[in-house]
Amino acid sequence: MNILIGFLTAIHVVIAVFLIMLVLMQKSHDQGVGAAFGGGMTDTVFGGGTTTALVRLTIYFACALLATTVLLAILHSHHGTTSSSLLQKVSQSAPSVPMTAPVGSPMPMPSTAPETQPLQPANSSTTPQPAPATSSGSTAPAAAQPEPAK
Average pLDDT of every residue of the chain: 73
In this predicted structure, what is the pLDDT of residue 53? 83
In this predicted structure, what is the pLDDT of residue 78? 83
In this predicted structure, what is the pLDDT of residue 97? 61
In this predicted structure, what is the pLDDT of residue 125? 58
What is the chain's length? 150
Nearest to 16 by CA among 64, 52, 71: 64
- The full set of domain ranges for the chain reads 2-28+35-80
Nearest to 43 by CA among 58, 54, 32: 54
Contacts of residue 18, Cβ cutoff 8 Å, sequence gap at least 6? 61
pTM: 0.44
45-102 pLDDT, tens digit per residue, is: 666 555 678 888 999 999 999 999 999 999 988 876 655 566 666 777 766 666 665 5
pLDDT at 35 over 60: no
- Residues 31 and 39 sit within 8 Å (Cβ to Cβ): yes
